[in-house]
Structure 1
Amino acid sequence: MIKLAAALSALLLLGAAGTAQAAIDARLAPDSVTLTDNGRTVLVYRTRTSDPAEPGRLNYVHPLYAPDGTVLTEDRPADHPANRGLFWSWHQVRIGEEVVADGWFMKGLTFFVRGTKFQGQPDGSGVLTLDVDWIVNSKPELIYVAREVTKVTIRPAATTGQRIEFDTTITARVPGLSLGGSDDAKGYGGFSMRLVQPDRLSFASRGEAVTPAVEAVAAGPAMGFAWPVANAYPAWAVGLACKAQGQPITRWILRRELSMQNCVFPGRAPYAIPIERPLHLESTVVIQPRESAAR
């Protein structure tokens, strides 16, 4: 498990990596934005649903690729069809005391991506800015409940791996909006990852092994995920760190089974989002070579 400590430290170290000329670029399509690093696909952000029966299945990332082209995420797996790559969602979307939508299961909530903008940066990184409306469609009339602005920053790949940063601001457009995780002891919700072969993962935080549990486990502000050292598995480790309102998230739903991984925010109890005080979320994903993690 000490091997994963390097993956976690990379969350800080990779921020300095870059090149003199922009390496990150974007390709826009009617249903997606593909971000590339010197022509190699890093990730695909979904701007439209591919299934009219699931109007809420957009505003997420899949596939996520390792620098060698290995796909690291799954979308719509048979065991949990609501799992979808890298995604940020909540079971409880509330107005006042009423649950008006379930964003996790994509019931009663859809999104309209009103704008996408890409800018290359002097350090070689690239920033994709997404302007997204949250629309509740469970009522006779549509309700515009929130505006989301997400910035996805990709740093150029280095020998130590690749760093991807998600910066999301959710601004309420109606009074009384709140978001909550699953309404049970697990309380899962927030930024989540459905990685490939999750039943083979190992977990570590602060250089120590972490054992999954049914409910959330307390750990450090970053978590490392790694597959066994064998040709049948990705030759990579993945690190994740999350913040809410500037504070590190240290509660984790971890699954060594066919399911997702989640940095838990806010938990079961809903978090109120007053119109004048947006919710600010930050999530950093680092993909690191297995050989580097072994040192």
Structure 2
Amino acid sequence: MTPLFAALLLTGSAFAASLEYAATDAYVDVSEGGVPVLRYNHRSTAVPEGIGPELARGDYVSALYGLDGELLTDDYPKDHPHHRAVNWSWATIRWNGEDRDLFAVRGILARPVGKPRVTSTDGSLVITAESQWKWDDETPVVAEAVTIRIFPQEESGRAVDFDITLNALVDGLEFCGRLEAGYSGFNIRMAPAPGQEIVFHSDAADMQPRRAWADYSSAFSGGTGRSGLAILQHAANPGYPQEWRQYPELNFFQPIYPGGTPIPLSKSEPVRLRYRLWIHRGGADETKMDEQWDAYNNTSSR
């Protein structure tokens, strides 16, 4: 067991299917049967040696693990130290004629509101947290709420659901990904590993149901073979099916919303984004991925 999760044996709270957690003001660690599952950082993470303190950031999953406890994601990679495991941060936040960059941690940061809450639902663990995006780390301009639901491991894998809502707190605010290029938003930086394979799937407009999923697999260090992580888009997401984007040389993949052109963020009508991560052994199996997409969309349509 890694030191990161050693405290679970003493401080964790157990629910059905042996999911456990340890929570502080700063983060929530989740494990199952002594095997780490993930860490959600509500407050800023510790900056590694050699990385500038200005890149400290919170409000993201800083570590996501495979079914055998192998680390699937990367945080503070040397080539792009602003990249961070599993996160939802946008490169263009526009207000009063100026731009700030939440993705690159420039001029705007997600700051915690209160403490993260952990509850149990039907054998799963649910982390709920609120943050405010602060312009120049002073003025709150966006209210964010995230719910992360971690399901017990099944024979075929594990599901982790993300439900993100965004509301503007000021008039005239716009947001998008990197201008023109469109990347950032809900994105994942994977750990370097041999045998990388990235698969994208989006059904044609006349297909019913119209599925959209992506899968990334490699032989990650500490695993027993090839492991994979899939992103399943929820059909109720704005812009569905969202365009897929990959940067294989950076071990980076994501769905893109809203793209590279700023759109208004309302004070009264929130943007809601939902994704399921499916952690599995082996590479992408199209039939199984379709089944997982069906299960996700049939059980979370409300």
What is the TM-score with the length of structure 1 in the denominator?
A: 0.79
Deviation at 1:47, TM superposition (A): 2.0
Q: Which residue of 2 aligns with 1:225?
A: 216
SS class of match (2:247): coil
Deviation at 1:242, TM superposition (A): 3.0
Residues 270, 40 of structure 1: CA spacing in aligned structure 2 closer, same or farther, 3 A cutoff? same
Residues 176, 203 of structure 1: CA spacing in aligned structure 2 closer, same or farther, 3 A cutoff? same
Deviation at 1:29, TM superposition (A): 2.5
Residues 61, 228 of structure 1: CA spacing in aligned structure 2 closer, same or farther, 3 A cutoff? closer
Q: Which residue of 1 aligns with 2:144?
A: 148
Query: Aligned ranges for residues 181-220 of structure 1 at < 5 Å?
Result: 181-184=177-180, 186-197=181-192, 200-206=195-201
Residues 207, 271 of structure 1: CA spacing in aligned structure 2 closer, same or farther, 3 A cutoff? closer
Greater relative contact order (Cα 8 A, min sep 6): structure 1 or 2? Answer: 1
Percent identity over paired residues: 25
Structure 2: 5+ residue stretches without partners: 1-14, 204-209, 289-302
Deviation at 1:110, TM superposition (A): 1.7
CA contact (8 A) 2:198 2:216 kept: yes
Deviation at 1:108, TM superposition (A): 0.8
Number of residue equivalences: 260
Deviation at 1:255, TM superposition (A): 1.8
Among 20, 27, 37, which residue is 2:32 paired with? 37
Q: Which moved more, 1:195-204 or 1:266-275?
A: 195-204
Deviation at 1:245, TM superposition (A): 5.9
Answering whether residue 136 of structure 2 is matched by residue 137 of structure 1, we say: yes
SS class of match (1:284): strand
For 1:235, give the aligned amino acid: R
Among 229, 245, 251, which residue is 1:253 paired with? 245
Deviation at 1:21, TM superposition (A): 2.9
Query: Aligned ranges for residues 14-93 of structure 1 at < 5 Å?
Result: 21=16, 23-49=18-44, 50-51=46-47, 53-54=53-54, 57-93=57-93
CA contact (8 A) 1:64 1:85 kept: yes
Q: Distance in 2 between matches of 1:266 and 1:154?
A: 26
CA contact (8 A) 1:129 1:151 kept: yes
In the TM superposition, what whole-angstrom CA distance separates every residue of 1:88-115 from its partner, at most 9, and x where no partner exists? 111111115421x101110111222123
Structure 1: 5+ residue stretches without partners: 1-19, 209-218
Residues 137, 244 of structure 1: CA spacing in aligned structure 2 closer, same or farther, 3 A cutoff? farther
In the TM superposition, what whole-angstrom CA distance separates every residue of 1:169-206 from its partner, at most 9, and x where no partner exists? 1111101122111113x211210000112674212234
Answering whether residue 162 of structure 2 is matched by residue 163 of structure 1, we say: no
Q: Distance in 2 between matches of 1:272 and 1:245?
A: 19
CA contact (8 A) 2:194 2:219 kept: no
Deviation at 1:59, TM superposition (A): 0.8
